[in-house]
């Protein structure tokens, strides 16, 4: 029996982030003005959303927040911090994890972004865990991401379906229906999450290193996919990272020009 990727669905009573509404700023300000003596306010989503947390708890679990609220910054006096340039649902999941020890595929998130996956949410949380120095979240998101990736790579998929591609255009990724759970759809979503991971983490990242080990074990199988070859050709640092790890298995990978453009060549070393 084939393994099926584990699905995380929110419980029926799970809280969903409400969309910004008229007067949202007043609601945020109202929350800030009624903070309890031991609470801090975390404002995100461009000032549209706010959550309160116990100051001593969040400072104990995150050196970033400890520096902000216990250091010589204005946040120590106002007890309000504004998180900027983050994916709002990622912040919501991060705060949910701090409160409840987990996060979910929230119904309103899926409604807003139909093709968003749990893999993507794990990557977003991992990125935020690094930014805000939350080791427990980094471990949780990385562990679950790697487990889901291993399950997907074990599925019985062989090659891209040529019927999905327009030969007149370079369309490297198939956009499957959100409820399509075939193996090809799962691996396509997984490769999209790889692009998200590599595009938002540094070269020395631990999750990248662990993922490279999984990918190298399936390299020959993955090379049948146009979408994987596209990542090798155009995703910054990805081919260099793959070349480095594959060289340990005596596989040589080269990016070379061919008649129709660029291509990937690989051979086993003697």
Distance, CA of 251 to chain centre? 29
Residue 244 vs residue 164, higher pLDDT: 244
Report if residue 249 sits inside a domain.
no
pLDDT of residue 120: 96
Domain match, 120 and 170 both: yes
Q: Find out whether 89 and 126 touch, Cβ atoms under 8 Å.
A: no
Report if residue 14 sits inside a domain.
no
Domain match, 114 and 187 both: yes
- CA–CA separation, 83 and 98 (whole Å): 16
- What is residue 269's three-state secondary structure? coil
Helix, strand, coil abundance in the chain, percent, nearest 5: 50, 10, 40
Mean pLDDT of 172-182: 63
Q: Answer yes or no: is pLDDT of 166 > 60.
A: no
Domain match, 95 and 199 both: yes
Reported confidence tier of residue 256, pLDDT bands at 50, 70, 90: low
Report if residue 265 sits inside a domain.
no
Distance, CA of 237 to chain centre? 17
Q: pLDDT tens, 39-86?
A: 999 999 998 999 999 999 999 999 999 999 998 899 888 999 999 999
Q: Find out whether 201 and 130 touch, Cβ atoms under 8 Å.
A: yes
Domain boundary among 40, 64, 85: 85
Domain boundary among 85, 120, 154: 85
- CA–CA separation, 126 and 145 (whole Å): 9
Residue-level length of the chain: 270
Backbone angles phi, psi at 172, to 5 degrees: -75, -25
Domain match, 52 and 159 both: no
Domain match, 124 and 209 both: yes
Reading phi first (left if > 0) and then psi (alpha if -120 to 50, else beta), residue 249 is in: alpha
Report if residue 259 sits inside a domain.
no
Domain match, 52 and 108 both: no
pLDDT of residue 253: 63
Report if residue 177 sits inside a domain.
yes
Q: Find out whether 153 and 10 touch, Cβ atoms under 8 Å.
A: no
Domain match, 208 and 106 both: yes
pLDDT of residue 245: 87
Domain with 57, as residue range(s), is 24-85
Domain boundary among 43, 69, 85: 85
- CA–CA separation, 67 and 1 (whole Å): 50
Q: pLDDT tens, 99-138?
A: 999 999 999 999 999 989 999 999 999 999 999 999 999 9
* Total count of domains within the chain: 2
Q: Which residues pair with 44 in a beta bridge?
A: 49
pLDDT of residue 161: 54
Least confident of 24-33, 143-152, 227-236, 252-261: 252-261
101 Cβ contact partners less than 8 Å away, ≥ 6 residues apart = none
- Chain mean pLDDT for the chain: 81
Domain match, 37 and 69 both: yes
Domain match, 121 and 140 both: yes
Report if residue 251 sits inside a domain.
no
Q: pLDDT tens, 222-238?
A: 888 888 888 888 888 89
pLDDT of residue 254: 64
Report if residue 269 sits inside a domain.
no
Q: Find out whether 96 and 103 touch, Cβ atoms under 8 Å.
A: yes
- CA–CA separation, 244 and 251 (whole Å): 10
Domain match, 93 and 193 both: yes
Is the overall model pTM greater than 0.85, yes or no?
no
Cβ atoms within 10 Å of 254's Cβ, excluding its own: 11
Q: pLDDT tens, 140-164?
A: 999 999 999 999 999 887 665 555 5
Q: Find out whether 28 and 52 touch, Cβ atoms under 8 Å.
A: no
Residue 229's H or E segment, with its range, is: helix 226-234
Domain match, 206 and 139 both: yes
pLDDT of residue 49: 92
pLDDT of residue 72: 86
Backbone angles phi, psi at 76, to 5 degrees: -65, -30
Report if residue 257 sits inside a domain.
no
Rounded to the nearest 10 degrees, what angle do helices 206-217 and 135-153 cross at? 10
């Amino acid at each position: 029996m084939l393994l099926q990727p584990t699905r995380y669905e929110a419980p029926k009573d799970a809280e969903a982030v409400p969309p910004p509404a008229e007067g949202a700023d007043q609601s945020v300000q109202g929350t800030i003005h009624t903070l309890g003596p031991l609470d801090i306010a975390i404002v995100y989503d461009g000032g549209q959303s706010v959550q309160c947390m116990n100051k001593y708890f969040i400072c104990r679990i995150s050196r970033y927040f400890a520096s902000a609220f216990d250091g010589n910054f204005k946040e120590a006096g106002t007890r309000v911090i504004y998180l900027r340039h983050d994916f709002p649902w990622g912040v919501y999941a991060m705060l949910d994890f701090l409160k409840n020890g987990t996060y979910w595929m929230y119904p309103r998130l899926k409604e807003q972004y139909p093709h968003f996956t749990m893999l993507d949410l794990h990557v977003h949380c991992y990125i935020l865990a690094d930014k805000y120095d939350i080791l427990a979240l980094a471990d949780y998101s990385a562990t679950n991401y790697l487990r889901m990736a291993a399950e997907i790579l074990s599925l019985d998929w062989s090659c891209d379906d040529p019927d999905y591609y327009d030969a007149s255009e370079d369309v490297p990724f198939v956009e499957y229906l959100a409820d399509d759970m075939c193996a090809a759809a799962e691996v396509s979503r997984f490769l999209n999450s790889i692009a998200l991971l590599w595009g938002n983490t540094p070269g020395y990242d631990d999750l990248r290193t662990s993922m490279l080990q999984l990918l190298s074990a399936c390299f020959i199988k993955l090379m049948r996919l146009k979408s994987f070859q596209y990542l090798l050709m155009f995703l910054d640092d990805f081919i260099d990272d793959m070349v480095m790890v594959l060289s340990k298995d005596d596989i040589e990978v080269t990016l070379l020009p061919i008649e129709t453009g660029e291509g990937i060549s690989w051979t086993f070393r003697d």
